Structure 1
């Protein structure tokens, strides 16, 4: 028989999950790598929204630095006009060589890769997580279904991706890790950035990448 403590725990978990606008969808790690700790990592957010790019990079860099990672925002390495035009692979190879000369050995790239509108059915009755003690309570609370029905709510889901690349001088330049994170119905852009970074840092620590666990 399920106890009150069980239901309280379920309610707490549901509440915690509902407080974030970002969810991990996919998580891939190079099978040849167990742990990876960079000496110096460049943080890049790829977006044409300059303000949010700077906001994202600044917060992520600050969070990484608070965990002992030497992280640098892209503006501190790129010149102000670097993102104003496309670059060839040869130019990007030269960029990586320049990064090596500056002591970088990793790049953490984040970007929005797509968006889609989804439709949910919002109903004017008690939700699935509501516990009824009797049929009477259940029927009484939900009988509005017969008269009020349901309506559709359209919302946008943004598909984002972060990737960690090694540019170590003694190793092949390769991908270390990639994660896909969905951003759904954020209350604000600032909260979406905060939630995304929280998920990103949690995954990196779980995968023993960049962040050294205490």
Structure 2
């Protein structure tokens, strides 16, 4: 079945984005977010998507004066492949602190919904169809009619959280934002769009400077 035109437009243009902001929370006690060394972690076993995402988000942070690094420089890529105990995660945190990291931005898929969109039937006409008898006569015939159809697609719920790992456990969360990505079919386009939405929201909430 053909992809719905609206979804294709969403994925291929920035005017109609595939990413939708849902909600966010900001630690009001953090007046200025200025980490010395920020680690970016994409929680996915899709190494291509992970690499593209971390590189793109790193570039955006670096352009705003934040010293950011991809996860591959600090942790084994297999660390996020399986569930880890609290002790293992605490050990990782201590290792990161020893390497000079004071903040972590971690992104994960927190849910996936299957959706169905209904497209009603419609007639299509050529240019100036009403000037001639033939096209006018045929306007309600099947030759000009596209019938109803349904299209299945997925909505991915993505969450990005930023932590100050040097701070007290109860105050370490700096910011968390939730976004929906609609039917991603192109990794690069979807990742780039998602990163743009993250940065735009962080700018609105005055956590990173505007360019």
Hey, what does 1:31 align to over in structure 2? Answer: 28
Does the residue aligned with 1:181 lie in a helix, a strand or coil?
strand
TM-score, normalised with respect to structure 2 = 0.75
1:87-126, aligned counterparts within 5 Å?
87-125=84-122
Q: Which runs of 4+ in 1 moved over 6 A?
A: none
Does the residue aligned with 1:62 lie in a helix, a strand or coil?
helix
Q: Please list every run of 5 or more consecutive structure 2 residues that lacks an aligned counterpart in the other structure.
A: 1-12, 124-139
Contact 2:39 2:104 in 1 (8 A): yes
Return the alpha-carbon distance in structure 1 between the equivalents of residues 78 and 190 of structure 2: 27
1:189-208, aligned counterparts within 5 Å?
189-208=187-206
How far the C-alpha of 1:33 sits from its partner, in A, is 2.9
How far the C-alpha of 1:79 sits from its partner, in A, is 2.9
Does the residue aligned with 1:115 lie in a helix, a strand or coil?
strand
Return the alpha-carbon distance in structure 2 between the equivalents of residues 17 and 190 of structure 1: 13
Return the alpha-carbon distance in structure 2 between the equivalents of residues 90 and 179 of structure 1: 26
TM-score, normalised with respect to structure 1 = 0.74
> Cα distance 1:148–1:102, how it changes in 2: closer, same or farther (>3 A)?
closer
> Cα distance 1:85–1:116, how it changes in 2: closer, same or farther (>3 A)?
closer
Return the alpha-carbon distance in structure 1 between the equivalents of residues 178 and 81 of structure 2: 26
Return the alpha-carbon distance in structure 2 between the equivalents of residues 155 and 83 of structure 1: 27
Q: Work out which of the residue numbers 20, 27, 48 in structure 2 matches 1:51.
A: 48
Alignment length (residue pairs): 182
> Cα distance 1:159–1:171, how it changes in 2: closer, same or farther (>3 A)?
closer
Contact 1:21 1:195 in 2 (8 A): yes
1:33-182, aligned counterparts within 5 Å?
33-125=30-122, 150-168=148-166, 174-182=172-180
Hey, what does 2:131 align to over in structure 1? Answer: none
Q: Deviations over 1:52-71 (max 9, x none)?
A: 11111111112211222110
Return the alpha-carbon distance in structure 1 between the equivalents of residues 106 and 183 of structure 2: 23
Q: Deviations over 1:78-119 (max 9, x none)?
A: 135434543321221122122222221111001111111112
Does the residue aligned with 1:35 lie in a helix, a strand or coil?
coil
Question: What RMSD, in angstroms, separates the aligned Cα atoms of the two structures?
Answer: 2.7
How far the C-alpha of 1:22 sits from its partner, in A, is 0.5
Contact 1:37 1:212 in 2 (8 A): no
Return the alpha-carbon distance in structure 1 between the equivalents of residues 77 and 176 of structure 2: 27
Q: Please list every run of 5 or more consecutive structure 1 residues that lacks an aligned counterpart in the other structure.
A: 1-15, 127-142
